[in-house]
Structure 1
């Protein structure tokens, strides 16, 4: 195992709308942290793929002017709001839009999920999900994109064997990899650190989230202060050669899957405090301390 004192450096970023709705405030949060990367999900409550051409052009200009890069765009493809009964054309259309927009942003990663069920028998659900993901992956590969599947909602949400089966169904294409979120297990009923041990060779992007609770109710905490074994996950990632970025997703101002946002969500201080706590946690791990 790699000693904590030799953990390599890496790029820190955060999901912007977790800091504030407006791009200006999202960039302010990144600037206050001294970071140079911003993961995009929505601007003023509008998903990246649904921004008007004019609004998106302003986003590109503002990000470039701020000297910030975008490591990943979080799509709604196959997510918790799009079960397997959703017309497949909806996701194909979003991917086509994002192919152009990712090119303008200079990013290749697009976050996806894997279609929650909507009454289909298990074998039918599996066949449909694997078929759709394989077709999306082929389309992404032609566009120069990499789909990163998050351990969140859908057929391959929480079982490592299903995640690996999904990668196989896409013929091992480099255009499909995994996104590991340290904190999703409390909401979906599994231990994240255990899942990570099975999938780490295929992880290309990481979300940092922590909390307590169970599938009925969750309380989100600063990283390292909950039950999600964030420090253990970080040690494992680095011990097994992970070189990607870490992106904070505090769930303090915004929890999209619950349809909840803080009415005072333009205050970026909680997001900044979250980033500072992650920095301290990493510094402790590098010097051989505990979480």
Structure 2
């Protein structure tokens, strides 16, 4: 296992204009003294992706870091077919970008909760989307890591259900320890449940808002 730092860790600073992509990599490089070996980049932070990619790769290499994982924010929980198809097309682009970055692990989501819908209502859309994406990812030798994100497919049993239904070796789990708290599940129990399926771990915690 390699210890890496996610750019999402500094999202507040990014939104405040205090740090950008290059600044984050500089920050991560400084953390090598504390054991950091790599970084996680997210599609959320690109400003001009095609122009930034070669610069980012050079900076990461010069810093002696590894680009460990690339993450996208797909949402297959889409009642409208056209919206679902757009999500799949964008997610396939994410696979292609991961390949350009030389990354073999792509973090993905199931989808976001929608008013009036339960997990069971959108399960077929999620499975169909991730199955198509996994098939596409296999061509690039990219492994998808499904995160227990938000309130939709946020429990370990739901993540397992989706992975089992897709049935592809290209789809594994991203264990996010903090997110289990959002759905009232003990993170230790959940992590143990998903450990055999894990391709990626997000180690984080939450502080209750005052």
TM-score normalized by structure 2? 0.81
1:119-150 deviations in whole A, cap 9, x for unaligned?
34654322222222222221222222111111
Counterpart selection for 1:31 from 19, 29, 32 = 29
Q: Residue 148 of structure 2: which of 148, 151, 160 is its match?
A: 151
Whole-angstrom distance in 2 between the partners of 1:122 and 1:208: 25
Q: Deviations over 1:154-193 (max 9, x none)?
A: 54211x332222112112x221000111111233322111
Question: Against the structure 1 CA distance between its residues 101 and 129, is the aligned structure 2 distance closer, same or farther, given a 3 Å change threshold?
Answer: closer
Larger Rg: 1
Q: If each structure's helix is expressed as a fraction of its own residues, which one has the higher value?
A: 2
Distance in 1 between the 2:183 and 2:136 partners?
29
Q: Is the 8 Å Cα contact of residues 39 and 71 (structure 1) preserved in structure 2?
A: yes
Task: Quote the offset at 1:83 in angstroms.
Answer: 4.3
Equivalent position of 2:4 in the other structure: 13
Q: CA deviation at 1:206?
A: 0.8
Gaps of 5+ in 1: 1-9, 220-291
Matched, 1:53 2:47: no
Alignment root-mean-square deviation, CA: 2.4
Q: Specify every segment of 5 or more residues in structure 2 that has no aligned partner in the other structure, as ranges.
A: 15-19
Partner of 1:237: none
Match of 1:189 in 2: 184
Q: Secondary structure, in 3 states, of the residue corresponding to 2:58?
A: helix
Q: Deviations over 1:91-116 (max 9, x none)?
A: 22223322232122211111111113
- SS of 1:166's partner is helix
**SS class of match (2:182):** helix
* Cα distance between partner residues in 1 of 2:59 and 2:26: 11
